[in-house]
Amino acid sequence: MSTIEGSVALVTGGSRGIGRALVSALYERGAKKVYATARDPRTVMHPDAVPLALEVSDAASVAAAAEQAQDVTLLINNAGVSVNAGFLDAPVEDVRREFETNFYGPLLVTRAFVPVIERNGGGHILNVHSVLSWLGIAGSYSASKAALWSQTNSLRLDLRPRGIEVTGLHVGYVDTDMTAKIDAPKVTPESVAAQALDGIESGAYEVLADDLTRQVKAGLAADLAALYPQLAA
């Protein structure tokens, strides 16, 4: 279990959506310092946050951020992109771009910050997944989030002996810019952030942040036709 109060956190993609809500929630729970990263740090609006330039898919940018944030004890890999490239017709470059951000990005950031967290006495990593980690209905996005889920499960085993706990956060529809054109019930970024930090503090392996995510996770043991009704047609 990890304590938010007094921690030093770094949130990738911390200027909007879930990331912005996480930055605010961390300060509300007593975090000592929160680095909020963005491609353009001028977009970070929280008055107390430490803006930090970061492109998660660029190794040099990741290394520079880790060099500047040597006091981190809590890492939140939130930055992501939604390309939803189809596997049969979209350019392969689009599929690769989604993996560069959603899979290799968190991997690069984690590899850079694990030594930092370890030197600071241990801590916690939260990776932001999706209900689409378990549903292959969004092409490259689903695949990249499924791969990140697997990465998180492996890292949890690798890092526990080193004093670093790992939590995976799964969400469905969240009321952010990414889902603005989707007509479906949505949870608020603030609700997701609160549940994520509850999970960190309780030592949860996974946080399922809404009813849709809980329903899909519960159905993973069923026949595939239960998750994909078109197979039963």
40 Cβ contact list (under 8 Å, min separation 6): 15, 53
Among 27, 35, 104, 141, the one annotated catalytic: 141
Distance CA 101, CA 60 (A): 14
φ, ψ of residue 184 to 5 degrees: the values are -160, 160
Q: What is the C-alpha to C-alpha distance for residues 26 and 29, in angstroms, rounded to an integer?
A: 5
In 10-168, alpha helices (H): 17-28, 59-68, 92-99, 105-119, 139-159
User: Of these residues, 104, 145, 173, 186, which one is catalytic?
Assistant: 145
Nearest one of 232, 231, 179, 233 to 210, comparing CA atoms: 179
- Annotation says 145 is catalytic: yes
In whole angstroms, give the CA distance from residue 113 to residue 92: 30
Residue type, 122: G
141 is catalytic: yes
Q: Which residues are catalytic?
A: 141, 145
